Structure 1
């Protein structure tokens, strides 16, 4: 994962550093409200209480700013995944508890960060740096939850446990992301349907892991 300094000229002195942090936080606040392509640099400066000159002193333009903001966002998202993985490890035992906890936690983290994630995912179609950082972060974060299920491998009946876990987690993520509209503007979720989806995904994952396919 690249550092913010790969995309921005990060100041070292106190007051200038505080201004730069306000730019990052102001951009994140606006991303929680609407997509990045609907946000102007003038709005970011106003929200951050910095001048346009100060912003351009740190980044070359809007695209570079988004890459820097993504770095900070993904750092925090990784911490959230670490916290949830540690909680699940401490509170659950066995496949029947671990799988629903993993499905629910992944869904919750996606839902809580959906508005910001949506801008990055949409931008990744035309920005290789955004795409690469997003894919690497997703792989790293999902690996933490995959490891929790792998710890229950003795219970798994599927003849290829690792393949079954990886395939199942990929489908869970894709389904949750689609339901939340992360690949388009606006979400699709409703509270009751979301809860039911998480339950169904948990049941399907458990059934798949306990399934013994016929020999071909």
Structure 2
């Protein structure tokens, strides 16, 4: 009997996890297309095909759903960062390595621009969202700074500054359109060339 109950429990757990993933994916889709104001239990229910009651039972309210969605999103971004940059570290030429790293950071943030905006703006006044966002940023800082220090034989401080340049540029592009930052029109190719020069200078110290 116990084995039978265990056998029944596993499919139920799998269905529950699948249902939660559908809800969180739907929440991220809404955030990425319509922004935080459009994120309601009813909207997520409609987009995910999961009933309102099931969503309330699992997440209790909109805020808990938003917190869970952020955690789901950041886990995806962390995986994307690692998968996008893994081949980069195998490159021998330092200039090519940095160019590809710049591109990878820009792509990950650009592809998820509106979702980043939603969590950055929502997280400003929410300690849970802000804490989880900071944890993810510090994780990335540790990972990338350690790799930069190792590859370029530079100090932890210089590697940290290089990471800040990469992260700061990507976040700026995610939060603001070019014309909202300066009035100077600069092509993406030119900007990435300038970023490359800045990183080379920092990592050479």
TM-score if structure 1 supplies the norm length? 0.78
Q: Are the structure 2 counterparts of residues 15 and 162 from structure 1 closer, same or farther at C-alpha, using a change threshold of 3 Å?
A: closer
**Against the structure 1 CA distance between its residues 41 and 189, is the aligned structure 2 distance closer, same or farther, given a 3 Å change threshold?**
farther
Verify: 1:18 aligned to 2:18, yes or no: yes
Residue 76 of structure 1 deviates from its aligned partner by 1.4
Question: What is the CA distance between 1:201 and its match in structure 2?
Answer: 0.9
What CA distance in whole angstroms lies between the structure 2 residues aligned with 1:198 and 1:139? 24
Equivalent residue for 1:4? none
Change in Cα spacing, 1:16 to 1:95, as seen in structure 2 (3 Å) is closer
Measure how far apart 1:71 and its partner are: 1.5
CA distance in 2 between counterparts of 1:69 and 1:44 reads: 11
Post-superposition CA distance 1:182-207 (Å, at most 9, x none): xxxxx415997333322211111112
Q: CA deviation at 1:65?
A: 0.2
Look up the match of 2:163.
169
Q: CA RMSD in A?
A: 2.4
Match of 2:40 in 1: 40
* Residue aligned with 1:32, SS: helix
User: How far is the alpha carbon of 1:16 from its aligned partner?
Assistant: 3.7
Aligned residues: 190
Deviation at 1:61, TM superposition (A): 0.8
Aligned to 2:148: 149
1: CA distance between counterparts of 2:134 and 2:160? 15
4+ residue runs over 4 A deviation: 189-192
**Partner Cα separation in structure 1 for residue 159 and residue 171 of structure 2:** 18
Cα deviation, residue 49, structure 1: 1.2
After superposition, the Cα gap between the structure-2 partners of 1:15 and 1:172, relative to the gap in structure 1 and judged at 3 Å, is closer
Query: Runs of 5+ in structure 2 lacking a partner?
Result: 1-10, 180-184
Which residue of the partner structure matches residue 137 of structure 1?
136
Higher relative contact order, chain-length normalized (CA < 8 Å, sep 6+): 1
SS of corresponding position for 1:126: coil
Gaps of 5+ in 1: 1-10, 182-186, 212-216
- Mapped to 1, the partners of 2:24 and 2:196 lie a distance apart of 36
**Contact preservation (8 Å) 2:32, 2:114:** yes
Q: In structure 2, how many angstroms separate the alpha carbons of the residues matched to 1:194 and 1:130?
A: 31
**Structure 1 residues 31, 122: CA separation in 2 closer, same or farther (over 3 Å shift)?**
same
Q: Structure 1: how far apart are the matches of 2:78 and 2:166?
A: 19
Q: Deviations over 1:82-101 (max 9, x none)?
A: 212321122x1143232222
TM-score by length of 2: 0.81
Q: 1:74: which partner in 2? A: 74
